[in-house]
Structures are given as structure tokens and as C-alpha cells.
Amino acid sequence: MHVLITRPIEDAEPLKARIEALGCRVTVAPLIEIVSNDLPVDVVAGATGVIATSRNALAALTASPALPLAIKRTLYVVGPGTASAARKMGFQDVVEGAGRAEDLVPILTGKHGAADRLIYLRGDTLAFDLEAALAKNRVNIAPVIAYRSVAMDTLPPDVLKGLETADIDVVTLMSPRTARIWSRLVLALASPVQLSGLTYLCLSGRVAEALGPPAKADKVRVASHPNLEEMLALIKRLAASSKAE
């Protein structure tokens, strides 16, 4: 089974090794490039806590002189992957959500009020407006753009060839934006490609919805929980099924 990983390169390489260990061929074709912004030393000064909804935000913080101050604060993250990365950076007090930014809303609402100052390290695009959701519960957060995500304009030649020859079996999609970029790029192709045989593995229902026309209902699989382990479980089941055929 040939699996296409569309994650940014920093996240794709570790995932590639884990999928290859399942006996699959893997091609990495990032649809988004992550560019970290400079974070000033005082970015978390006076903060009650810090929120990071992706490891990309933590990567930007790693390169910042603000890190020594930040690791003394409570850090709120979306799931186990981000939590693990945060602890390796030196964070001791890490509060972990269930895998999505919206899952942090009840956690933060239960712990903080209008008097607190929470810093939200985020990207330039959002799948979920955490700031607006918390404002309804009188929890105010100060967003800081820690990184930018730049969409790719074309698919790599090896991916195009794989689509033309029906050599790619599975496409992994980890965010709504990535799904929209994939849809835009394949629908704009001038040369004929084989899409009907593809199976799309989506991190969440929102990702599957964002995919749009390229997907067929019987060719979309959604992780039971929005985390990497569940995506790997999906791949493992598909790989076992393909070997049995």
C-alpha cells in the first residue's frame, strides 16, 4: 500500500518512519510550509498561562528568548503529541486536551476568568476560533501569531506521476486547510489523474468536509479521535486489508 503524507516536512518525517514500519510505501509531499515568526522575550510577561494548539507554535517558542519565562507558566495544549513535545522543552505544568482546539474551551473556562491573562500562540490561519469561543465565557486570551503557513502552488512531479498511474492508494489529511489545498490542486490539473481509487484518511469530520468534490463517501475514513495514534490505527487496518486481498 502506497501512502501519501501531506503534512509539513517537520511533522512528516517522523510519521513516515512509523508508517513504513507497518509495511507501507510512503511518499512525503507537504502541502503547507511552516515559517516561524520571531517571538520577543517579553511575549509571555505577566501571563497567567500559555495556550498552544500545535507543535508549530512550540517550535517558534523554542527559538525565542521568551522560552525560559514561558516554561514557568501553565501550558494548555490540544493533545498528547503537543504535550509530549512541550515536556521535552522543559514545561512541567502541562494541561492536555482531547485532541482539538475546541476541547480546550471547557478546560480553560473552568480554570480561568476575566482577570487572568492567557497568551495564545497560534498560526496565521485557524480551523477553530478559540478566542471567540472563550470570550463568550468571559475568558479573554491574547493571540500571538507564532508562525505562518504558506500553501504550495503545485503538486510535486512524483505525486503527479503517482496519480496518473494510480500508484497512490492513500492520502492522509490532517487539517481542513490541507484538505482544501489538496482539493484545489487536483481539481486544477490539466492532465488526467486517477482519483477514484484513492482512500482519504482524515483527522476529523471537519477535515473530511473541507475535502469536497475529490472525495467519495465510500473512500473517506475519519479517525475515531483526532490524534495521530488513531490515524496510524486507520492506516494499519487498511494495510492489513490490502494484504488480505
More confident position, 97 or 4: 4
What pLDDT was estimated at residue 245? 59
* Rounded-to-integer distance, Cα 87 and Cα 66, Å: 16
> pLDDT tens for residues 39-61?
998 999 889 999 999 889 999 99
pTM for the whole thing? Answer: 0.74
What pLDDT was estimated at residue 80? 87
Q: Which helix (H) or strand (E) holds 11?
A: helix 9-20
* Rounded-to-integer distance, Cα 127 and Cα 158, Å: 29
CA max distance for the chain: 60
Q: Distances from the Cα of 209 to the Cαs of 153, 173, 178, 206, 233, in angstroms?
A: 22, 11, 12, 5, 21
Of all residues in the chain, the percent with pLDDT exceeding 90 is: 65
> pLDDT tens for residues 190-222?
776 777 789 999 999 999 999 988 877 679 999
**Banded model confidence at residue 174, pLDDT cuts 50, 70, 90:** very high
The mean per-residue pLDDT over the stretch 232-242 comes to: 89
CATH 3.40.50.300 fits 2-31+153-244, yes or no: no
**Banded model confidence at residue 86, pLDDT cuts 50, 70, 90:** very high
What pLDDT was estimated at residue 99? 82
Kindly list the domain boundaries of the chain, sorted by start residue: 2-31+153-244, 34-150
What pLDDT was estimated at residue 122? 94
State the DSSP code for 140. -
State the DSSP code for 197. T
* Rounded-to-integer distance, Cα 63 and Cα 92, Å: 19
What pLDDT was estimated at residue 217? 62
More confident position, 140 or 86: 86
What pLDDT was estimated at residue 244? 58
User: Which of 2-6, 73-77, 97-101, 119-123 has the lowest average pLDDT?
Assistant: 97-101
Class in CATH terms, 34-150: alpha beta
Please tell me if the domain spanning 2-31+153-244 has the same topology as the one spanning 34-150.
yes
What pLDDT was estimated at residue 127? 78
- Mean pLDDT across the chain, nearest whole number? 90
CB of 51 within 8 A of CB of 118?
Answer: yes
pLDDT above 70 (res 63): yes
> pLDDT tens for residues 92-136?
999 998 888 899 999 999 888 878 889 999 999 887 889 999 988
What pLDDT was estimated at residue 160? 92
